[in-house]
């Protein structure tokens, strides 16, 4: 197992940034590739990204919990790469964590509140944006 430098104040943001670059580029190119294969009438690429990203978040988290990766590598992979690849993976991990720690009702409230609230906020942002332009 690799050792992680002790200067976390500098290393952690760099790990997140490196992972974010890789995650964002992976998302961009994979969505484009899937859209070329399957068409763009349905967001197949985004669906694939969300599902694969959620799988990766679980896998990388389990690796970190099992101490297979260093804390810095864990941050690069989860917060940086998967967080940039898709925030849906973090949403799913938060929902599962809430279910474990606070019960199904709280987890459901977060899950539904995020989905419904996100839709409402998107609609509000579109309305405000249209009014201001």
Helix H or strand E encompassing 110: helix 104-132
Q: How far apart are CA 79 and CA 12, in angstroms?
A: 10
6 band by pLDDT with thresholds 50, 70 and 90 = low
Torsion of CA 90, 94, 96, 98, to 10 degrees: 180
pTM exceeding 0.75: no
How far apart CA 96 and CA 3 sit, in angstroms, is 30
Query: Cα separation of 8 and 21, whole Å?
Result: 19
Closest CA to 28 of 85, 94, 98: 85
Task: Report the chain's mean pLDDT, rounded to a whole number.
Answer: 86
Render pLDDT for 65-85 as a digit per residue (tens, 0 to 9).
777 778 888 889 989 999 899
Residue 86's Cβ-side half-sphere holds a number of Cα atoms within 13 Å equal to: 22
Distance, first Cα to last Cα, the chain: 54
**Spatial distance between the Cα atoms of 4 and 118, rounded to a whole number of angstroms:** 37
pLDDT, mean of residues 122-126: 84
CB 35 within 8 A of CB 44: yes
Distance separating alpha carbons of residues 58 and 94, to the nearest angstrom: 11
């Amino acid at each position: 197992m690799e050792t992680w430098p002790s200067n976390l104040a500098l290393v952690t943001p760099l790990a997140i940034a490196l992972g974010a670059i890789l995650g964002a580029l992976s998302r961009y190119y994979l969505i484009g590739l899937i859209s070329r294969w399957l068409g763009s009438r349905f967001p197949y690429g985004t669906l694939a990204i969300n599902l694969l990203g959620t799988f990766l978040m679980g896998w990388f988290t389990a690796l970190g919990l099992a101490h297979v990766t260093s804390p810095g590598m864990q941050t690069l992979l989860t917060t940086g790469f998967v967080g940039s690849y898709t925030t849906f993976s973090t949403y799913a991990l938060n929902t599962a964590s809430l279910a474990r720690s606070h019960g199904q009702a709280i987890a459901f409230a977060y899950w539904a509140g995020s989905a419904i609230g996100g839709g409402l906020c998107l609609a509000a942002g579109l309305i405000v944006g249209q009014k201001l332009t």
